[in-house]
């Protein structure tokens, strides 16, 4: 056996590097904006950049300054103009270019703002090819022009402009590639801001958005079904709540903190869900199960807290436990310390108790005042209870039968993340990346299983085509072995919060059967677990349709257009392979398609879209509208076949 020689890299003082603020942001953008993306996904970084700038303007409005924010998007350039106090003139450069510099590190100036860590605007600056900021204060302006975070010009001028701040930026194509703003996403963001800040007018490309009724307007506008009773709207100091029930499955609850849409929920949403279950149980004096009370709930909650702690820079999940939590200071301004030397902390009420107390009293009072809706709500709860108990019994029998037959172990190849004795070192990162591939047949599942990352990627193998859930009763679905086992694998039998994998990836062949299976699986999620889609957990795996290669280079192409471009680039001696099934792709090739650079299409479902209408169109009776849609969007197999070179 050959001797293995150990080669040590030189590790000395020269190895220690300091990255300037701009360089660090550009090298590690994920730490600041979550992801890059090209604008096709509402979580892509370009929307985070827009949000960071508008957040500052909204904070000015919340502090009582400026009633209008103008947002203009022309191509790739964004302009935001507010009419607040304006950035202090001598601090314009520092406030927009130096990390951990800002006026929101305590509650002296901004008591309930979103941005508290002095990062947001600096990230926008560093990730923009052009960033211009100008502050107007009392007849004088101060401006600064940057390119990729580097100062190009600055100065002061007299002005007749109204007080406020103007920011104009263009996200850098070096970072984001070929990107475009989806104006539907932007409009949704603007509408949400208007719902949460009554009295604030936001003007997007000349169109004003203003809400008079807050969250009530939001839920009313986004209702995709007729509610069982009029929406309940409760308002208190630092909290606003809306609640009703529909006949859809799951829960559809939107949550906000200080005007920030917390798509991933957090402590306030958990408290809302707990509070409505507890209040209805106590009101009816019956031990109804929380899942029966919350089945079909449509609503929203918004709270205002001081110095919120969000999980992640993109602020999509609230991690705060208390309404406020800050260090107590001595009369001389220093930090007050206890006998053990630790800082004395002043904590407000817990978010859980704050939300529970408010909803408990306000909702109870509302029910006593609106007795006409009381029997309607209880009838809904009882119907959910009856269905759940019936389905639970069927699922239990099916799972027991499958356990005895050892079917479960043959269908699910789990990942190490779920075994306590083999936990990866960085559990948080593995949790974020944990995925389950839902695939068809032994060939495809075998290929994925062979090349997957066993730490965080699981594989679930379907046998044939699942039933069309849209056409079948819930009882029939519960009796279905395939879907029953899938529910068990996901861990969502009782509560979606028990979801075992962050990413659910539908991986089917790129042929007619594969597309049909994909639609059947998505129909299952859309009808019975729509919140998995709304929370961004469900994806479709994109695998290449073609391999184009010559003796020197191989290219994988995901469309006819990419194939034609590859043929032109590689020119001579080109061989083209058309992949029709996952099992046709060799393991050596497939490993790249589910690795760090795997291409996933997020399955999207906006609040205002009607699930029933969508499923009727795609999975209902064959209508003229669907036939026309297919004719307009169908590409013939001949278009996808190999060409002779």
Q: Which runs of E-coded beta strand occur in 258-413?
A: 260-261, 297-303, 325-327, 345-347, 412-413
Count of other CB atoms within 10 angstroms of residue 504: 25
pTM metric for this prediction: 0.71
> Stretch 425-449: mean pLDDT, rounded?
76
pLDDT value of residue 377: 95
pLDDT value of residue 399: 64
> Stretch 376-391: mean pLDDT, rounded?
90
Distance separating alpha carbons of residues 502 and 436, to the nearest angstrom: 8
Residue 456 φ then ψ, to 5°: -135, 5
pLDDT value of residue 264: 80
Distance separating alpha carbons of residues 624 and 428, to the nearest angstrom: 49
Q: Is the pLDDT of residue 520 over 50?
A: yes
The 3-state secondary structure of 512-550, one letter per residue: HHHHHHHHHHHHHHHHHCHHHHHCCCEEEEECCCEEEEC
pLDDT value of residue 104: 45
For the chain, give the percent of residues with pLDDT over 70.
82
Q: Give yes or no for a contact between 238 and 265, defined as CB atoms under 8 angstroms apart.
A: no
Count of other CB atoms within 10 angstroms of residue 277: 18
Distance separating alpha carbons of residues 577 and 555, to the nearest angstrom: 11
Count of other CB atoms within 10 angstroms of residue 635: 9
Distance separating alpha carbons of residues 406 and 242, to the nearest angstrom: 46
User: Residues 394-419: pLDDT tens digits?
Assistant: 767 766 665 554 555 567 888 876 65
pLDDT value of residue 200: 92
User: Residues 205-214: pLDDT tens digits?
Assistant: 999 999 989 9
Of the candidates 552, 551, 548, the one whose C-alpha atom is nearest the C-alpha of residue 567 is 548
Going along the chain from its start, the domains and CATH numbers come out as 21-209 (3.30.565.10), 215-328+343-384 (3.30.230.10), 406-543+580-609 (3.40.50.670)
Output the CA angle 34-256-527, nearest 5 degrees: 85
- CB-based contacts of 365-372 (< 8 A; 24+ apart in sequence): 366/232, 366/234, 367/283, 370/232, 372/229
Higher-scoring residue by pLDDT: 580, 220 = 220
pLDDT value of residue 6: 44
User: Residues 288-334: pLDDT tens digits?
Assistant: 999 899 999 999 999 988 878 877 545 678 888 888 777 777 777 77
Distance separating alpha carbons of residues 196 and 588, to the nearest angstrom: 51
pLDDT value of residue 7: 46
Q: What is the torsional sign of CA 448, 452, 454, 456?
A: negative
């Amino acid at each position: 056996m050959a001797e293995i020689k150990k080669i040590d890299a030189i590790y000395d003082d020269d190895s220690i590097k300091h990255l300037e603020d701009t360089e660090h942001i550009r090298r590690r953008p994920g730490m600041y904006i979550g992801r890059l993306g090209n604008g096709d996904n509402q979580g892509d970084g370009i929307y985070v950049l827009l949000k960071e700038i508008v957040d500052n303007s909204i904070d000015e409005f919340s502090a009582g300054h400026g009633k209008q924010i103008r947002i203009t998007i022309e191509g790739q350039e964004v302009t935001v103009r507010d009419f607040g106090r304006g950035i202090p003139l001598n601090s314009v450069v520092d406030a927009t270019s130096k990390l951990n510099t800002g006026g929101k590190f305590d509650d002296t100036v901004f008591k309930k703002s979103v941005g508290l860590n002095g990062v947001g605007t600096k990230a926008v600056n560093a990730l923009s090819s052009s960033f211009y900021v100008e502050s107007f204060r009392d007849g004088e302006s101060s401006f600064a022009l940057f390119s990729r975070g580097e100062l190009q010009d600055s100065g002061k001028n007299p002005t007749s402009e109204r007080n406020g701040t103007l920011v104009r930026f263009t996200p850098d194509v070096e970072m984001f590639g070929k990107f475009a703003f989806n104006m539907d996403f932007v409009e949704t963001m603007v509408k949400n801001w208007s719902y949460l800040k009554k009295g604030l007018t936001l003007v997007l490309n000349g169109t004003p958005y203003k809400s008079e009724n807050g969250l009530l307007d939001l839920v009313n506008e986004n209702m995709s079904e007729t509610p069982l009773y009029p929406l309940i709207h409760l308002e208190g100091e630092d909290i606003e709540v809306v609640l009703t029930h529909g006949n859809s499955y799951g829960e559809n609850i939107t949550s906000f903190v200080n005007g920030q849409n917390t798509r991933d929920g957090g402590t306030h949403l958990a408290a809302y869900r707990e509070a409505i279950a507890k209040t209805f149980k106590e009101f009816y004096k019956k031990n109804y199960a929380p899942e029966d009370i919350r089945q079909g709930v449509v609503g929203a909650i918004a709270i205002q807290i001081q110095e919120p702690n969000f999980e992640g820079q993109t602020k999509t999940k609230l991690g705060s436990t208390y309404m406020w939590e800050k260090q107590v200071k001595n009369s001389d301004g220093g930090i007050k310390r206890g006998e053990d030397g630790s800082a004395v902390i002043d904590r407000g009420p817990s978010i859980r108790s704050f939300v529970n107390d408010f909803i408990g009293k306000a909702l109870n009072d509302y029910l006593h005042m609106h007795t006409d809706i009381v029997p309607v709500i209880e009838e809904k709860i009882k119907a959910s209870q009856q269905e759940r108990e019936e389905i639970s019994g069927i699922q239990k029998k099916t799972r027991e039968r499958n356990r005895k037959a050892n079917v479960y172990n043959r269908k699910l190849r789990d990942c190490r993340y779920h075994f306590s004795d083999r936990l990866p070192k960085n559990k948080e990162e593995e949790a974020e990346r944990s995925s389950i591939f839902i695939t068809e047949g032994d060939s495809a599942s075998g290929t994925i299983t062979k090349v997957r990352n066993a730490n965080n990627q699981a594989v679930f193998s379907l046998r044939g085509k699942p039933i069309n859930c849209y056409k079948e009763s819930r009882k029939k679905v519960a009796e279905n072995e395939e879907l029953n086992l899938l529910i068990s694998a996901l861990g969502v039998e009782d509560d979606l919060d028990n979801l075992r994998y962050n990413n659910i990836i539908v991986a089917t062949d790129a042929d007619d059967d594969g597309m049909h299976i994909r639609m059947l699986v998505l129909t299952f999620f859309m009808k019975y677990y729509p919140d998995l889609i709304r929370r961004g957990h469900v994806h479709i795996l994109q695998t290449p349709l073609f391999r184009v290669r010559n003796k020197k280079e191989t290219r994988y192409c995901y469309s006819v257009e990419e194939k034609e471009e590859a043929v032109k680039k590689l020119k001579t001696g080109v061989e083209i392979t058309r992949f029709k099934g996952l099992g046709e792709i060799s393991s050596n090739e497939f490993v790249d398609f589910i690795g760090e650079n795997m291409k996933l299409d997020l399955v999207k479902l906006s609040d205002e879209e009607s699930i029933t209408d969508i499923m009727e169109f795609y999975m209902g009776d064959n209508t003229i509208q669907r036939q026309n849609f297919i004719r307009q969007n169908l590409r013939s197999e001949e278009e996808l076949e190999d060409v002779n070179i």
